[in-house]
């Protein structure tokens, strides 16, 4: 057997790992000043691309490359601490999480078992996605991106070295550039895909791969080799590289569009730091080579794996955000656990003290991943099993309204330029037809629509687009001030929609209070600029108040125009107010109260609080509705609140899916809010 080639150990790269992982941890713990610490992940990608490509190039050129050896090393490096973290997280999940959260955890583990958790979390992204900070395995998306890259990259590199060796640098630059261009475009248009998926992340690993090729001593890449740097230039590049990482850490935030162009500085910074310290040592390199930095870098993988689940479970157990002090304490705990994991789990397997042969490692890895996947699927697919694990019996798991609806009782068709319409009931009398129109707060009435159609023999149509106000020619602006095309398309086609379905009543349901703070935009008008302030706290408050007043004025104007338009079509309008908005996720709160043995009434909130919270938008809606004889208000508070409290549960069934949207049971329970409208329909039949 040939002696294996090795890459010279560079202490400053372990220090760079520390510079990557520390901001990530501090960002996740919400420590002030580290809002952009998530860029450490991008630094990790560059380091990984550089080191793995350097190793592969030397092995291929030395003639001792083996795919089996490569994947064995990946298994020894990645899986032992990862499996330990998943197992430990599963134990905590069983004792701390609700059945819904356990099912979500199990689904994450299932996706992770074949290193596709990035795809799973991307698929979860949406209007009703659970908060990121409730997902203990969310951080594993980065591992999935890496392993997807290394599933194919060694094979492509081997083929390129055999058949297109001199073209390898150009191929890498081409593929990396294409991925970077895709990232720039997708960050604006499909931000979730840009963030999670490998096509828009591969360029970050590609940066490291290109640097590895450019640093190679192989004769094939002589024309592509990086120039020798003087000490002065190397010092300058190292300083610039450090700033390119540190400045995003302190200047970026969760509001920064990412990755896209914002990922370029930290990735370029990592490249500059590695390049500037190749073959020499700079002042920054010496700082990164400090023993404490190297020590953190050596355990950085375990630190990354352990810190996030500990923070998530602590937040879930507290049922609130952690203080900075609590976050720091948990990071110290993560450091202790990570050091133990590195010493007793990582190193024995990497040094072959445990599972010494390739066959043992690959077989054990396959069996472990298969067991994780099967267990994850079993728990995710079985609601009773998740409830049994959680030990809950006092509260049932809520059902999203659409999940409980009998599909055979509905018809779905495209009307008015591709707009999808759901219809309940089969009668063909226009006087009996109702259209529920709006955003997700229209959609959650789908169970009520099914019930109304069946009980009263009427036709109920439903059309909803998430976050789309049911106002003529109106949508809301995204953070980049672009109108949402699907929303504006629907709200411009009311005439075609009404003509095709021949309705006599329309229910406009929306999260109206949202549009006090979210700016609306009317098709055909200029996009108004953001209101600016002088920078003082008072000026910021005044600018915010002025913006909110402008938003409410626009809401009033567009609602007026919408009600007037429907009135001209001889259609009565019923403006549906939102249900009570709770300051917590209702089902999760109920499950925790049940587990603690606390009465479920502890989750109720005062009716006065709800009324006060919505007062500004309610006054606008009431003022507009009172102008028109064919318009009415519908208020779920009258059904979902009594005796001064707004309740959350009916027996064992949560009335809400989250903090605002009704569950299937809640939608059917509150269906009597439609009684006045049904009375009008019944009265019209008798005349």
CB 38 within 8 A of CB 142: no
Number of C-beta neighbours around residue 531 at 10 A:
13
Are 315 and 133 contacting, i.e. CB atoms less than 8 angstroms apart?
Answer: yes
% helix, strand, coil for the chain, step of 5: 65, 10, 25
**pLDDT of res. 44:** 97
Cα three-residue angle 427-432-433, rounded to 5 degrees: 90
Q: Dihedral angle at the C-alpha atoms of 203, 208, 211, 217, nearest 10 degrees?
A: -130
Calculate the CA dihedral of residues 579, 654, 658, 623 and round it to 10 degrees.
0
**Can you tell me the distance from the alpha carbon of 471 to that of 542, in angstroms, rounded to the nearest whole number?**
28
Low-confidence ranges of the chain (pLDDT < 50): 1-3, 126-130, 479-483, 533
Q: Would you tell me how many other CB atoms lie within 10 Å of the CB of residue 507? A: 26
Question: What CA–CA distance (Å, rounded) separates 553 from 483?
Answer: 19
Q: Is 132 left (phi over 0), alpha (psi -120 to 50) or beta?
A: alpha
User: How far lies 124's CA from each of 149, 196, 507, 684, in Å?
Assistant: 22, 11, 30, 45
CATH for 401-581+615-637+667-686?
A: 3.40.50
> Which tokens in the block code for residue 519?
């700016």
Written as one string, the DSSP assignment of 329-378 is: HHHHHHHHHHHHHIIIIIHHHHTTSSS-SHHHHHHHHHHHHHHHHHHHHH
Distance, CA of 418 to CA of 412 (rounded, Å): 12
Q: Which stretches within 190-263 are classed as H helix?
A: 191-196, 202-215, 231-251
Full-prediction pTM beyond 0.85? no
| Closest by Cα among 478, 487, 489, 466 to 191 | 478
Q: Which of 306, 324, 250 is nearest to 31 (CA)?
A: 324
Exposure on the CB side of residue 517, measured as CA atoms within 13 A: 6
pLDDT tens digit string along 460-497? Answer: 999 898 888 999 888 876 543 344 677 878 887 777 77
pLDDT digits (tens, 9 = 90+) for 630-639: 999 999 999 9
Q: How far apart are the first and last CA of the chain?
A: 96
- For residue 684, the model assigns a pLDDT of 65
Token digits of residue 162 = 């055999």
3-state DSSP assignment of residue 277: coil
Which pLDDT score is estimated for 525?
67
CA 241, distance to chain mean position in Å, is 30
Specify which residues 311 forms β-bridges with. Answer: none
- Collapsing DSSP to helix, strand or coil, 644 comes out as coil
Looking at residue 176, what is its pLDDT? 96
Encoded tokens for 482: 């672009």
Helix (H, G, I), strand (E, B) or coil at 226: coil
Compute the distance between CA of residue 248 and CA of residue 253 in angstroms, rounded to an integer.
9
Where are the chain's structural domains? 11-390, 401-581+615-637+667-686
Q: How far is CA 368 from CA 116, 131, 136, 197, 381, in A?
A: 16, 29, 19, 25, 20
């Amino acid at each position: 057997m040939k002696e294996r080639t090795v890459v010279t150990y560079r202490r400053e790269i372990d220090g760079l790992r520390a510079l990557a992982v520390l901001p990530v941890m501090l960002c996740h713990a919400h420590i002030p000043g580290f809002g952009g610490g998530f860029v450490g992940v991008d630094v990790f990608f560059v380091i990984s691309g550089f080191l793995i490509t350097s190793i592969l190039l030397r092995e291929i050129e030395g003639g001792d490359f083996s795919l089996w050896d490569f994947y064995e090393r990946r298994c020894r490096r990645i899986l032992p601490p990862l499996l330990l973290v998943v197992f430990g997280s599963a134990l905590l999940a069983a004792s701390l999480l609700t059945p819904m959260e356990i099912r979500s955890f199990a689904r994450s583990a299932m996706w992770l078992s074949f290193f596709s958790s990035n795809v799973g979390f991307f698929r979860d992204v949406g209007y009703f996605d659970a908060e990121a900070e409730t997902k203990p395995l969310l951080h594993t998306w980065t591992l999935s991106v890496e392993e997807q890259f290394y599933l194919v990259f060694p094979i492509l590199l081997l083929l390129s070295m055999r058949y297109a060796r001199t073209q390898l640098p150009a191929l890498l630059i081409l593929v990396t550039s294409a991925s970077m261009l895709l990232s720039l475009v997708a960050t604006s248009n499909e931000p979730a895909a840009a963030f999670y998926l490998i096509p828009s992340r591969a360029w970050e690993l590609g940066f490291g791969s290109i640097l590895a090729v450019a640093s190679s001593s192989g004769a094939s890449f002589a024309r592509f080799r990086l120039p020798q740097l003087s000490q002065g230039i190397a010092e300058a590049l190292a300083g610039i590289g450090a700033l390119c990482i540190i400045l995003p850490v302190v200047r970026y935030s969760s509001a920064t569009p990412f990755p896209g162009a914002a990922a370029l500085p930290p990735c370029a910074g990592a490249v500059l730091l590695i390049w500037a310290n190749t073959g020499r040592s700079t002042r920054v390199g010496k700082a990164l080579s400090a023993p404490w930095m190297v020590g953190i870098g050596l355990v950085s993988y375990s630190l990354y794996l352990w810190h996030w689940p500990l923070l998530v479970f602590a937040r879930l157990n507290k049922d609130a955000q952690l203080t900075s002090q609590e976050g720091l304490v948990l990071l110290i705990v993560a450091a202790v656990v990570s050091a133990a994991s590195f010493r007793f789990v990582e190193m024995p397997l990497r040094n072959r003290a445990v599972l010494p042969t390739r066959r043992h490692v690959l077989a054990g890895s396959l069996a472990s991943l298969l067991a994780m996947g099967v267990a994850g699927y079993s728990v995710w697919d079985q609601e009773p099993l998740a409830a049994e694990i959680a030990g809950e019996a006092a509260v049932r798991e809520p059902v999203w309204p659409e999940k409980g609806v009998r599909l055979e009782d509905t018809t779905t068709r495209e009307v008015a330029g591709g707009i999808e319409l759901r219809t309940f009931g089969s009668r063909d009398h226009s006087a009996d037809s109702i259209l529920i129109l709006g955003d997700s707060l229209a959609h959650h009435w789908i169970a009520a629509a099914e019930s109304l159609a069946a009980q009263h023999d009427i036709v109920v149509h439903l059309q909803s687009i998430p976050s789309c106000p049911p106002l003529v020619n109106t949508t809301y602006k995204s953070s980049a001030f672009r109108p949402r095309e699907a929303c504006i398309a629907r709200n411009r086609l009311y005439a075609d929609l009404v003509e095709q379905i021949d309705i006599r009543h329309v229910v406009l349901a929306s999260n109206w209070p949202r549009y006090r703070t979210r700016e609306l935009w009317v098709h055909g008008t200029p996009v108004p600029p953001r209101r600016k302030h002088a920078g003082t706290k008072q000026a910021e408050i005044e600018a915010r108040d002025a913006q909110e007043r402008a938003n409410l004025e626009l809401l009033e104007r567009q609602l007026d125009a919408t009600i007037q338009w429907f009135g001209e079509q001889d259609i009565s309008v019923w403006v549906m107010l939102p249900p009570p908005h709770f300051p917590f996720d209702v089902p999760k709160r109920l499950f925790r109260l049940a587990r603690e043995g606390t009465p479920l009434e502890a989750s109720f909130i005062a009716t006065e609080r709800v009324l006060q919270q919505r007062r500004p938008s309610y006054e606008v809606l009431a003022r507009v509705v009172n102008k028109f004889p064919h318009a009415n208000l519908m208020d779920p508070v009258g059904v979902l609140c009594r005796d001064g409290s707004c309740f959350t549960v009916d027996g064992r069934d949560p009335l809400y899916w989250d903090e605002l949207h009704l569950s299937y049971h809640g939608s059917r329970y509150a269906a009597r809010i439609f009684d006045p409208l049904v009375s009008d329909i019944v009265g019209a039949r008798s005349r």
